[in-house]
Structure 1
Amino acid sequence: MSQEDEPPSTLWGLDPVFSAFARLYIKDLLQIQESRQVPGIYFYNSHPIYKVDVLGTVVYKRERDDFFCYGVDDGTGVINCLCWKNEKWRQTDDPPERSETGFNPIAELKKLQEAQRRCSQLEIGETLRARGPVKTSRQQREVMASTFYKVNDPVMAEQIAWMMEVPELYRKCYDKPFQLQANATSGPTVGRVTRATHILKDFLKEKTVTKFRPYDVLELLQPLVCSQSQTKPGDQGQQNDASVAGPSAGQQLRQLLKESLQVLQDQGAVYRKVKSQDELYHVTEHDKDLLIAVKDIIREDSKREKYAEKGCHVLHILSAVRQRYSPNISKEALELVLKTLECNSDVISASNSHYTMFS
């Protein structure tokens, strides 16, 4: 990426990836190009990145007085993780003997430090998770780990969860170029869609709407279009000339409603049970039939031996709901239903992604 193709550095903060620890595949970390404006910043598909989160198997290690250097392999490539030792590593004093008469806080602190030392010293074949900025040293890409620890993962549960989450992040975020210039020039439009989405959410919550059609809520967004079409007296002549070929107020209103409803669907707040010419939207939180369907699935499948111990995985529940209730249920809508059921004490989360009935 040339300097001309890079978005201005003043706009990087608009990209949420810039402030997060990006969970990129190691093969992509080895290939991303460094910014020509600011050294130490890298670009993946126009996303500015400077700190990452990696998880993988240690395939080699080197130890120095001040740091460990681990080679971490996530199945796509190997990258160096430079893990600095803190002052605790230099404290070699023997812990004081524990008093027979009571609790010795200094001795217990020494035990905690020793446990921390064991968690930060890994051997080949163990799993390491490291977070920190990306650096290029001697033409070699490295992760300067600000946080690192050994992952106790005997049944590979952590790695499986990681492999399920990262592809979704790529689909929803990393593989979609962040158009900073477009967003900067179309701020009023983006802001109007955000305001329209909030208006629809407030209406659905206040009126406890269970289902609706687009024409039922069209008038709610009318003030946004009217305020957008108002111009200053000095600009009236230019506005009239520019609006000859532009969309009418009615077209703008319908387009605004369409974009707002799409945002609500992406968030899982509404869904269409059957996609037909009759655009009927169901409000996820207020759809009692959907809540009952999800609850019945968890109740029935939790009795099966396969799910008796940990409960039903969210992807299993999603597949069952799509087969038995509606193929148009999104994962976001299901997560909202599960959250509602959990708040009502109908189900409980056995882990981050497993649910069972509340007994």
Structure 2
Amino acid sequence: MQSATKDSGEETPSMLWGLDPVFAAYAKLYVRDILQMTESTQVPGIYFYNSHPVFKVDVLGTVVSKRERDDFFCYGVDDGTGVINCLCWKNDLLKEEGDPTKSVGKHTDGAQAGFNPEAELEKLRRAQQSRCHLEIGELLRVRGSVKTARLQREITASVYYKVNDPVMAVQIEWMMEVPQLYRQCYDKPFLLQPDVMGDFAITPLNKATNIIKDFLKQKAMSRFRPYDVQDLLQPLISSEPQTESADQEPVPGPSSFQKLSQLLNQALQLLQDEGFLYCRVKSQEDVYHVTAEDKELFMAVKDVIREDSKRAKYAEKGCHILHILSAVRQRFSLNVSRTALELVLTSLECSSDIISTSENHYILI
């Protein structure tokens, strides 16, 4: 894991922070890294981990200390890498203690008269108290903004709750997910290369992927061959002569056709990495399928969830995304990537064909 330290002179201008997806998300960072992050010199309350601007974090850990005041709880949370204080404000339901004698009378009247809003509100308050009142040794999940108060780093919670995890399923899933986020995102620095005009350059590869995306969406194509889109990228290939004067000999280098082929292959590979495309069958003349337009892939995913949800192992919680991916590869195509599957699952959930019973688990409606 890389160090969170960053020279303030190298900070990305604040107007460009929104280009980093980490900035808008609750970053699942280790407590150790939250404590070591460097605060921005441009905007107080913004911190940097490996050049990524961060102000919201998501932490899961064990309560090792507790303080309670009239308006808030202060829990010390240990995730195994460090301990950080989490300031958890009480809402109005938690502040209203109520009179137990009066509550009993109201509940009795409500039982005789039918639905009693006050009784239901009392049940809600008690349920919320059970989720927000934690004792030392219990598991707490906190989402909130990072603050520095009295020279100490802490989290001001916007959402917090006790996690019931008797078989450690939530903790194991968390320990598998967070290192992956570090490898794929947090430990990769956020870099933007400025051009000579001071604006941030759009590379030919980015232009190529956008051209292909726009063309496929405009034509509503579900499949295509590389030569169908190759000519679209021709304007991106420089046609300038290789010599500055007639006296100079030609400079060896790739031809325009080779540059075009290379750019096309790079763009198609990038679109596959994003899950936008996938190649169902590998052959000499690959046929690429547009993930969002491939109805057969959608049906294959729904069939896997429908059939396997009937098995006792998946009946209650649903099918895990890795199980769905393995089954789709066995029954449909070996070349379906996880990113493509995630796009399909998101689309199916948005159309109310499936629901996620928990994180990374899905079941058919």
> What is the TM-score with the length of structure 1 in the denominator?
0.76
Aligned match of 2:171: 159
Secondary structure in structure 2 of the residue aligned to 1:146: strand
Structure 1, unaligned runs of 5 or more: 231-243
Aligned match of 2:59: 54
Aligned match of 2:17: 12
Aligned match of 2:136: 124
Check if 1:145 corresponds to 2:152.
Answer: no
Q: CA deviation at 1:149?
A: 1.9
Structure 2, unaligned runs of 5 or more: 1-5, 241-250
When structure 1 is superposed on structure 2, of 310-319 and 102-111 the one drifting more is 102-111
Counterpart CA distance in 2 for 1:8 and 1:350 is: 38
User: Residues 81-96 of structure 1 correspond to what in structure 2 (within 5 A)?
Assistant: 81-94=86-99
- What whole-Å deviation, never above 9, does each CA across 1:172-200 have from its counterpart, x for those lacking one? 32122111344952147576245314324
User: Residues 1-359 of structure 1 correspond to what in structure 2 (within 5 A)?
Assistant: 1-94=6-99, 97-98=105-106, 99=109, 100-182=112-194, 184-187=199-202, 189=204, 192-193=207-208, 195-202=210-217, 206-209=220-223, 212-222=224-234, 225=236, 253-254=260-261, 256-273=263-280, 278-284=285-291, 301-302=308-309, 304-322=311-329, 326-338=333-345, 348-349=354-355, 351-352=357-358, 353-355=360-362
Asked if the contact 1:135/1:143 (under 8 Å) is kept, the reply is yes
Cα 1:121/1:297, change in 2 over 3 Å = closer
Asked if the contact 1:297/1:320 (under 8 Å) is kept, the reply is yes
When structure 1 is superposed on structure 2, of 278-287 and 294-303 the one drifting more is 294-303
Asked if the contact 2:85/2:153 (under 8 Å) is kept, the reply is yes
Alignment RMSD (CA, Å): 3.9
Aligned match of 2:3: none
The aligned amino acid for 1:131 is R
Asked if the contact 1:272/1:282 (under 8 Å) is kept, the reply is yes
Cα 1:357/1:25, change in 2 over 3 Å = same
- What whole-Å deviation, never above 9, does each CA across 1:251-298 have from its counterpart, x for those lacking one? 665455334323421232322345565444234456577567656655
The aligned amino acid for 2:217 is D
The aligned amino acid for 2:272 is Q
Counterpart CA distance in 1 for 2:259 and 2:177 is: 37
Asked if the contact 1:267/1:332 (under 8 Å) is kept, the reply is yes
Aligned match of 1:237: none
Cα 1:296/1:134, change in 2 over 3 Å = closer
Counterpart CA distance in 1 for 2:328 and 2:55 is: 40
Counterpart CA distance in 2 for 1:181 and 1:141 is: 32
Counterpart CA distance in 1 for 2:351 and 2:156 is: 44
Asked if the contact 2:276/2:290 (under 8 Å) is kept, the reply is yes
Asked if the contact 1:197/1:264 (under 8 Å) is kept, the reply is no
Counterpart CA distance in 1 for 2:123 and 2:296 is: 54
Q: CA deviation at 1:22?
A: 1.2
The aligned amino acid for 2:42 is Q
Q: CA deviation at 1:44?
A: 0.8
Counterpart CA distance in 1 for 2:18 and 2:290 is: 34
> What is the TM-score with the length of structure 2 in the denominator?
0.75
Aligned match of 1:234: none
Counterpart CA distance in 1 for 2:317 and 2:158 is: 34
Cα 1:272/1:309, change in 2 over 3 Å = same
